[in-house]
C-alpha cells in the first residue's frame, strides 16, 4: 500500500512537471495565447494535479 501510493505520488508529480514545462514552452512561443488563456491553463493544471490521485 505504502509503495503503491509513493509510486502514484511520483507519477503525479512527474506528470504535473511535464505539463508545466510544456505550457511554459508554449507560452514563450505565443504571448497572446498566454495572455488570453493563462487563467484557464492554470485552473486546468491545478484540476489535473488535484484530481489525478483520485482517478484510478
For the record, the C-alpha cell of 14 comes out as 512527474
**What tens digit of pLDDT does each residue of 8-44 get?**
777 777 777 787 888 777 767 766 565 666 777 777 7
54 domain residue, yes or no: no
Which pLDDT belongs to residue 14? 75
pLDDT at 55 exceeding the cut of 60:
no
56 domain residue, yes or no: no
Is the Cβ–Cβ distance between 45 and 13 less than 8 Å?
Answer: no
Which pLDDT belongs to residue 52? 66
44 domain residue, yes or no: yes
User: Which pTM value belongs to this model?
Assistant: 0.34
Which pLDDT belongs to residue 34? 58
2 domain residue, yes or no: no
Domain that holds residue 38: 23-49
Contacts of 47 (CB under 8 A, 6+ apart): none
33 domain residue, yes or no: yes
Q: How far is CA 20 from the centre of its chain?
A: 6
7 domain residue, yes or no: no
Q: How far is CA 18 from the centre of its chain?
A: 7
| Count of domains observed in the chain | 1
Which pLDDT belongs to residue 2? 65
Amino acid at each position: 500500500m505504502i509503495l503503491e501510493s509513493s509510486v502514484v505520488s511520483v507519477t503525479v508529480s512527474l506528470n504535473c512537471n511535464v505539463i508545466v514545462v510544456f505550457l511554459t514552452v508554449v507560452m514563450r512561443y505565443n504571448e497572446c495565447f498566454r495572455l488570453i488563456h493563462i487563467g484557464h491553463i492554470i485552473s486546468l493544471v491545478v484540476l489535473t494535479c488535484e484530481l489525478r490521485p483520485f482517478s484510478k
